[in-house]
Amino acid sequence: MSSSTCDMSSSLMFPSKDELKGAVQGTLLYLSLYFFFFIPFQSLSKFYILKQKRAEARANSKGADDKQEEISLSSVKYYNSQDSLALKGDRTTGNFIEFAILFIPLLWIHAIFVDAAQSFNISVIYTLSRAIYPFVFGKRGLILCSTLPGYMIYFYLIYEIASKFAFA
């Protein structure tokens, strides 16, 4: 640890900003993998499967007299799409957990190294946007009232952290 570290007690020393730069960059790299690759992969894989299933259904129905029922995205994407309440509960919880992996570390990194005074306000806005998720899920464009504020907060936190460390 450098001599410029903050002495919190006689035995506890915090590393300097420069000493933590690699950890912050590594954390941003890890979170970026999740946010920019795994989440899009999860969504795109469902669309790919949907396309495949629809093509199979069309191929199987050629020459058949009875009309094949259209395969919906929700039947591919969600295992329990027939029960809307269960689906809403599953997606509310799933979405919350999926993005907690991104939000919690970003919030703490931002609080420790950028501006701790903003932490509570950021948390309130984020939490309120997540709290309305079950009320807007399944209502097409209204879901964006829950998800877009969260995405904006992620980008803000990533930008602020990256500005302080990655581009310093």
- DSSP H helical segments within the chain, as ranges? 17-32, 39-61, 73-77, 84-113, 119-131, 133-136, 144-164
**So what's the pLDDT on residue 63?**
65
pLDDT band at residue 84, thresholds of 50, 70 and 90?
confident
Residues paired with residue 13 on neighbouring β-strands, in sequence order: 7
**Cα–Cα distance measured from residue 121 to residue 100, given in angstroms and rounded to the nearest whole number:** 17
Average pLDDT, the chain: 80
pLDDT band at residue 85, thresholds of 50, 70 and 90?
confident
Mean pLDDT calculated for residue range 79-97? 77
More confident residue, 147 or 15: 147
Query: pTM to 2 decimals?
Result: 0.64
| pLDDT above 90 (res 153) | yes
pLDDT band at residue 4, thresholds of 50, 70 and 90?
very low
